[in-house]
């Protein structure tokens, strides 16, 4: 059970842009879930350049959970990776969407598997190890000015028995996308070897989400669940994330009292 009036702190890794619908939706969706859980949630955007400052670890440690936001390319490529690494290494509840999903895969490739030049085609199209490459199959009937993968996509299949399927309560979902890049299928082995199995796939078997069974909560999705969250209908994945952040904070406070 959640405790009424409990306050949790969530750090949003990324560079807030008031023109991005997804950034406003990220803020709003957290409050939708907070109200459902009867929690107080304080969310703060953490600009990627600040994640390379000497006091970055101290700043990050003040948060109970992290959301790696949409918005690639970020102002600091390395800063975004540093924020994701902190969340992973310190086992903080972690959710990543869109660009955050892409950089989560790069961070795992570099820092878990030791592939130092793992990158995205958006950052370096001539690199040897391009983990994230341009979307292979464009969504039909999209706005010509929109990304190749944009709008509502149906029939995303979740892996039976995965945490992600449990959060949704079903194994086939529809979600919104807004991106030009996705996981290069030649590097799918990497996700499994790093301990982050693929738990959602598109119509052509494209990777759409990964999770970590070894962490408190660690889910990264190419789609953006925040775009379909509503005040009277909070998104189940985001609600699960906020609940895990609250559980982490409660344990953290209990441990501090004991010590």
- For 95-147, give the secondary structure using H, E and C: EEECHHHHHHHHHHHHHCCCCCCCEECCCCCCCCCEEEEECCCCCCCCCCCCC
- Taking the C-alpha atoms of residue 86 and residue 31, their distance in angstroms, rounded to an integer, is 24
Exposure string of 74-95, with b = 16+ CB inside 10 Å and e = fewer, is bebbebbbbbbbbbbeeebbbb
Per residue in 184-236, pLDDT (tens digit) is 999 999 999 999 999 999 999 999 999 999 999 999 999 999 999 999 999 99
Please tell me the distance from the alpha carbon of residue 71 to that of residue 23, in angstroms, as a whole number.
Answer: 8
pTM for the full predicted model: 0.94
pLDDT value of position 1 = 37
Q: 139 with 151: CB under 8 angstroms?
A: yes
What is the architecture, at CATH level 2, of domain 6-254? 3-Layer(aba) Sandwich (3.40)
* CA–centroid distance for 181 within its chain: 15
pLDDT single digits (tens) 117-147: 999 999 999 999 999 999 987 766 667 677 8
94 three-state secondary structure: strand
Split at pLDDT 50, 70, 90, the class of 22 is very high
pLDDT for the residue 141 = 65
pLDDT given at position 191: 93
Task: Mean pLDDT check: name the lowest of 132-146, 150-164, 203-217, 245-259.
Answer: 132-146
* Residue 119, strand partner residues: 130
Q: Using an 8 Å Cβ cutoff, are 69 and 14 in contact? A: yes
CA angle 31, 76, 9 (to 5 degrees): 25
Residue 51: asked if its preceding bond is cis (omega within 30°), the reply is no
Least Cα distance to 147 among 138, 157, 156 occurs for 138
Of residues 102 and 252, the one with the higher pLDDT is: 102
pLDDT of residue 149: 87
Using pLDDT thresholds of 50, 70 and 90, give the confidence band for residue 255.
confident
- Predicted pLDDT at 156: 97
pLDDT tens sequence across 88-121: 999 999 999 999 999 999 999 999 999 999 999 9
pLDDT of residue 4: 43
- Most distant CA pair in the chain: distance in Å? 59
Q: What percent of the chain has pLDDT over 70?
A: 94
State the pLDDT at residue 3.
Answer: 42
Average of per-residue pLDDT values in the chain = 93
- Percent of the chain clearing pLDDT 90 (strictly above): 87
Which residue did the predictor score with more confidence, 46 or 4? 46
């Amino acid at each position: 059970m959640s405790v009424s009036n409990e306050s949790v702190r969530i750090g949003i890794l990324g560079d807030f842009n008031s023109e991005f619908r997804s950034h406003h939706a990220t803020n709003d969706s957290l409050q939708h879930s907070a109200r459902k859980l009867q929690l107080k949630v304080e969310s703060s955007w953490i600009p990627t350049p600040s994640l390379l400052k000497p006091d970055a670890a101290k700043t990050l440690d003040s948060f109970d959970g992290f959301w790696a936001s949409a918005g690639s390319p970020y102002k600091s490529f390395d800063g975004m990776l540093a924020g994701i690494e902190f969340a992973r290494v310190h086992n903080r509840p972690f959710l990543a969407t869109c660009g955050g999903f892409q950089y989560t895969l790069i961070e795992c490739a570099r820092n878990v598997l030791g592939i130092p030049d793992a990158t995205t085609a958006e950052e370096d199209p001539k690199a040897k190890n391009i983990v994230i490459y341009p979307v292979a199959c464009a969504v039909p009937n999209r706005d010509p000015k929109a990304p190749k993968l944009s709008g509502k996509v149906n029939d995303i299949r979740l892996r039976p028995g995965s945490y992600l399927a449990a959060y949704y309560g079903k194994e086939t979902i529809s979600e919104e996308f807004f991106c030009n890049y996705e996981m290069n299928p030649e590097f799918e082995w990497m996700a499994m070897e790093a301990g982050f199995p693929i738990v959602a796939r598109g119509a052509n078997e494209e990777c759409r989400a990964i999770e970590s069974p070894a962490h408190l909560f660690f889910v990264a999705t190419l789609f953006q669940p925040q775009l379909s969250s509503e005040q009277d209908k909070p998104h189940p994945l985001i609600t699960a994330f906020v609940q895990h952040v609250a559980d982490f904070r409660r344990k953290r406070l209990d441990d501090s009292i004991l010590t």
